[in-house]
A and B are shown apart, each in its own frame.
Chain A
Amino acid sequence: MEEESGKEVWFDETWTKVHPLSPLVRGWVTIVAIPAAFFAYNWEMWSNLWTAWRSGELIDNVQSNPLPYLIGGGAFLALALLIFVGFTLSWWFTRYKITEEHVMVKSGIFVRQHRKARIDRVQAVDLRQPLLARLARLAELRFEVAEGDGTAATLAFLRKQEAEDLRTEIMDRAAGRAPASVADDVPAEPGPEDSASGDVGNNGDFSLISDIPRHSVQQAPDVSHSPAHTPVPDRQIARVPIWRLIASMVCGPGGVVVVIAAGIYLTYLGVTTAIVWLTGEEDASLVMEVGLQPAVGIPIIFGAVVGFWGQLTGGWNFTATMTEAGLRLKYGLTTTNTQTVPPGRVQAIQIQQGLMWRPFGWYKVIVTVAGYGLDSRTTLLPVGTGDDVMRLTAEMFPDLKVQNPEQVFMEGLSGTGTELGFTQVPARARAFDPLVRKRRGFFTTPSAILLRDGRMTRRLTMVPHERIQSTALQQGPLARWRKVATLHIHIPSGPITALAKNQDLEQVRHLFDQETGYAAVARRLTDRNQWMMPEELAEFEKTVAEAVEKLDDATASPAP
């Protein structure tokens, strides 16, 4: 494309600039931190200057010997100018362009970066609003793409309204919804580009900003007003009240660690105090004083605060709403996040329940979505009730296709033993899993495989057959002796590992055969990039049929 042709590309009119406040919003820490550090470091000098100013001495000094003051002031101004120029340049060199097929972002002054994301491969679009962006009504858009690593393209920052419109548009196109808009896109596409080129040629920088809304206003209605589009009202799936979030944190793994750490610390203090009191031993009192030093407690407190802060911001005002584009999650304390997870992009889902959550009936739900990797966005529900989980899985996971889905579900969450047809680690392999033996098992339905595990922290992992990338059967010497084996279900990388450990050999071999068979069939039926487009499916089926025919002919004649 054009970008290979030369340097002019970076000033091409078809590329849109982000909001001019963007570098400020992103780099405000630098702006605040550098002067703050400067002031803090030279505190004495500043206070001296201040008293000098109050007494009128300063003016005399400047008049008699202005050089050091000029140098100091000049340096300060130069620094400010440098930061300003840096920000302006970084803003000037950051541009994006949205074509029919791609979202492209270019950035960097010296090290130039060009990111390109295929729209039909977009897995999810997230909207982020850090604190300052919220005040300025700006938002950042992140596109996750199946191929590649991590976030594929980030647009930071746009006006919030523009960002939302753009998100809707991209999600619609990624889903292949509104096929009529394909025809609309052809005349609509040159529109924003023409207007953009006209504006850039004639006007100053600020007119460019006004381009962005025009761009989305022109395109978004095309999509939403197309005849194939019947709007479905949004439904709220789950909400996390703040009291529940805080209670769940106290009862969660972090809370337990803090309680244990505090317990150890207090015991230590108590024991040493007791020894000092009883024996009057000098050494012991020394030990106690070490324990009382704040340096011992601070790392523990710091770690706890960081951990809790992450949980708190990740669950603050958490709402999950089912919209047309997928599940919309909103949360955040200082930074507001809005992420949309289309059900068709969920590779696997896991429901967890810690020991201390059991009396309250709370669960956590995490998912694997290609591109999310391991970060906190993989949490679909930080803490929810059983009903929340039921509703959420019903929306985000294909129908289990069994007669008693709720029973199966509950059995997977909390059951033990072989009830309902779940498997367990056979008694002969008890030595391998003495505690979790009766929880470690699997259950297959026509649409998915359910894997349950964990005695203290219960886990239920569900993977639709059609999402399985590959399967592997593994067996070590001890497992061979006890006639058990482990089945690994390979899914794209994320927080979920799906495996059935130490299962009965016959059962797991059967599962292996079944899984490979299922995967082959299910894949042909349901896998599409633009999963909402019926034509896509028909087309896909046709090409598969043709190709299979060809292949069969080819393999039939020359036997390998």
Chain B
Amino acid sequence: MTDHYLTLKQVSVRRHQSLLLSGIDLRVSKNEFVGVIGPNGAGKTTLLNVIAGFEKFSGALSLFGEAQTWRRPRQTRLRVGYVPQLLQIDPGFPILARQAVMTGAVGRLGLFRKPGKQEYENTLRLMDMMRVAHLADRPLGQLSGGERQKVSLARAIVQKPDLLLLDEPTANLDIAVQKEVLKLIDEISEREALTILFVTHDFNMLPERMRRAVMLKGGLKVFDGKISAALTGNELSRVFEYPLETFERNGKRFICYG
């Protein structure tokens, strides 16, 4: 069992009268790159929130071989990085981009310890890797959506997590920036040896290193398998309840809708 980084057994989330997630079973091994795909309201973000420890749930969840509830020890939280959909911030908020990245290291440092040379170097290295080193001294609120998303990725990695949760990291970005962020995520996956869960509703915008897809619909898991098996007209049409077709050109698969 210990080779499973993340195990969910019959995990459900109920809010008011509705069931947001219903009896989800999921096992993710070390270094897997899993896409969580589904339409709006499928429960993707709720699933991510359960794994991140933001949401109460029923059922059993274990992380790194240990059973967890939504309240969890600091040591476990340190091992789970989280990138929200959009880093919401006021334009005037008093934080610079590099300080925002550094916030990822604060939990690991612990109380009463100041960030040292290592943390500063790490911050700049990751900002460089995310191509935002030149924005280090710019107020975060002044950066564009794409730049903020790259800062957000660097912030999550500076925490040195083993499991990285990405909640629609490319939503609201224009197409060129989406591609750039996906490439950076591929780069992260390659260089940092991480287990990644990537939530998205956009099946046309997936990182190349994603091998496995879990599809949700109405709070239920309706598909779990290879990404190539998920991205077929039949499967996608069933999950998204919309006629979709796939075709290949130059070895690449395209999905089109009528």
Q: Do chains A and B interact in one complex? A: no
